[in-house]
Amino acid sequence: MSRSVLSHFLTLSHSPCSRFTPSLCCGFPVKYMEGTGLVRRSRRPIGLRGTGFPSICSVSASEPVVQESSPSSAKKRVVSGVQPTGSIHLGNYLGAIKNWIPLQNTYDTLFFIVDLHAITLPYETQQLSRATRDTAAIYLACGVDTSKASIFVQSHVRAHAELMWLLSSATPIGWLNKMIQFKEKSRKAGDENVAVALLTYPVLMASDILLYQSDFVPVGEDQKQHLELTRELAERVNYLYGGRKLKKLGGRGGAIFKVPEPLIPPAGARVMSLTDGLSKMSKSAPSDLSRINLLDSKDVIANKIKRCKTDSLSGLEFDNPERPECNNLLSVYQLISGKTKEEVAQECQNMNWGTFKVLLADSLIDHLHPIQIRYEEIISDSAYLDRVLAEGSKRAADIADATLNNVYQAMGFLRR
Ligand code: ATP
Ligand code: MG
């Protein structure tokens, strides 16, 4: 059952080691664990047990640390979230939110608004709570169904920040220094002045995922490296504190954390800026012309598409590295129209930019219109939204607290 829903995603178990982060894959955790003097070789790999997929990224250790703790009949769990750092755009939608919708029919799903992540760069305090509500309303408008999924605000479940502190003590700083997003964002923000939180935010992200014993995390490609770090951290904590060590402390033994898999869609995982086909579309990019926001009006969408960067070559084609804008805009059209790549390639091969831009703008307007109508209904019913978030955080806290208590016990804290 799980496989058919997942079959269109790329997972780490399916793909070779990350081309972005070779040092984080395969031998990486062993290297760091070796530094702790705790790794001895055995034939039993630590890996993705219980996911139903063979893992090519595995490490070896002296004792069987990762054991499936939940019964195999239990639904597998999916978690994901978006930062309330600005307007949700087409990249967030195609790379993440749109892909959540089919998953909620098969999996136990929790979708949260990661407001604690939104303070890692300077932000407007006046806007944070508004952006948080807007993000929740957009989740609902895009089709997250609260009879199947939970929606909650990250800061409403205190275990996220608490587990992050515990995980920080097991995270080598070298792992964080390698994070591409930290390097890029800190460079843009002026290196020396960036907050420590920008460096440590992948540990919070690991906490967000590991608290829920998540099996799968649907994200865009930019989060792949952070997911790899989460997996390595889960294995490291399982090794350092799980198994027999936990049992000696009176715990249940076994794994402390499940090792999660990212789900990265083959198309839409990296929607590029409208003004630069080599940069990712981002909420934090200074120019609003670089992105289509889900709530942009018809006129704004038409204007942004009209002004977006193109090239001077004739005909339109996918996968030409010399034409990143062309590939990006065709991919967006493909995903929004629901057509196959071959259909789009054929339909657009002889088009000029003027004709294609009108086609793309109209498709975007038609696709986003129902989402915008639903958003307006939801955001104007604040009691409903409050109820959804309260119910979501209650359910999330129950799961998160169980994991957190287990971690405290495994790490040797005096129990309350
Ligand atoms: P910021 O610039 O503040 O980091 P963002 O646009 O990168 O914002 P996030 O809230 O960091 O958005 O990411 C939310 C989700 O959207 C993540 O799963 C991320 O991988 C995905 N995502 C973000 N940008 C894109 C994009 N351009 N294409 C595909 N997916 C994306
Ligand atoms: Mg981001």
Helical residues (DSSP H) of 142-223, grouped into ranges: 159-168, 173-177, 180-189, 196-210
Choice from 85, 92, 120 to test ligand 1 binding pocket (greatest atom count within 8 A of CB): 92
C-beta of 209 in contact with ligand 1 (< 6 A)? no
Quick one: which ligand is closest to 284's CA?
A: 1
Atom 6, ligand 1: residue with shortest CA distance: 282
From CA 205, how far away is CA 231, in angstroms rounded? 11
Does residue 243 contact residue 63 with C-beta atoms inside 8 Å?
yes
From CA 100, how far away is CA 78, in angstroms rounded? 9
One-letter identity of residue 403 = T
Write down the domain spans for the chain.
24-65+77-269+384-410, 288-379
Q: How far is CA 172 from CA 55, 66, 67, 168, 199, in A?
A: 24, 21, 24, 8, 12
From CA 98, how far away is CA 82, in angstroms rounded? 12
**pTM, full prediction:** 0.85
Q: Which CATH superfamily is domain 24-65+77-269+384-410 in?
A: HUPs (3.40.50.620)
Tell me the sheet residues that pair with 262.
217
**Among 198, 208, 189, 10, CA closest to 95:** 10
Q: How far is CA 115 from CA 135, 286, 333, 400, in A?
A: 10, 20, 31, 17
**CB-based contacts of 282, cutoff 8 Å, min separation 6:** 89, 91, 273, 290, 291
CA of 98 to the centre of ligand 1 (A): 13
**Among 247, 257, 204, 259, CA closest to 409:** 247
C-beta of 284 in contact with ligand 1 (< 6 A)? yes
User: Catalytic: 185?
Assistant: yes
pLDDT at 216: 97
CA 67-81-371 angle, to 5 degrees, is: 135
What does the buried/exposed string (b/e) look like for 344-354 if buried means 16 or more CB atoms within 10 Å of the residue's CB? bbebbeebebe
Say if 24-65+77-269+384-410 and 288-379 have the same CATH topology.
no
User: Catalytic: 306?
Assistant: no
From CA 160, how far away is CA 167, in angstroms rounded? 10
From CA 13, how far away is CA 66, in angstroms rounded? 16
Q: What is the DSSP letter of 76?
A: P
Closest ligand 1 atom to Cα of 291: 27
C-beta of 87 in contact with ligand 1 (< 6 A)? no
From CA 222, how far away is CA 213, in angstroms rounded? 22
One-letter identity of residue 224 = K
C-beta of 219 in contact with ligand 1 (< 6 A)? yes
Token readout for 46 is: 């630590």
Does residue 90 contact residue 121 with C-beta atoms inside 8 Å?
no
User: Which one of the listed residues 185, 245, 258, 304 is annotated catalytic?
Assistant: 185
- Class at the top of the CATH hierarchy for domain 288-379: mainly alpha
Token readout for 241 is: 């504190």
pLDDT tens digit at each of 416 positions of the chain: 455 666 666 655 544 333 323 333 333 334 334 333 333 333 232 332 222 222 222 222 222 233 334 444 689 999 999 999 989 999 999 999 999 999 999 999 999 999 999 999 889 999 999 999 999 999 999 999 999 999 999 999 999 999 999 999 999 999 999 999 888 888 887 777 888 999 999 999 999 999 999 999 999 999 999 999 999 999 999 999 998 888 888 888 889 999 999 999 888 999 999 999 999 999 989 999 999 999 999 999 999 999 999 999 989 999 999 999 999 999 999 999 999 999 999 999 999 999 999 999 999 999 999 999 999 999 999 999 999 999 999 999 999 999 999 999 999 999 88
The neighbour count for residue 377, using CB atoms within 10 Å, is 12
User: Catalytic: 280?
Assistant: yes
The neighbour count for residue 156, using CB atoms within 10 Å, is 18
C-beta of 131 in contact with ligand 1 (< 6 A)? no
Task: Read off φ and ψ for residue 54, nearest 5 degrees.
Answer: -70, 140
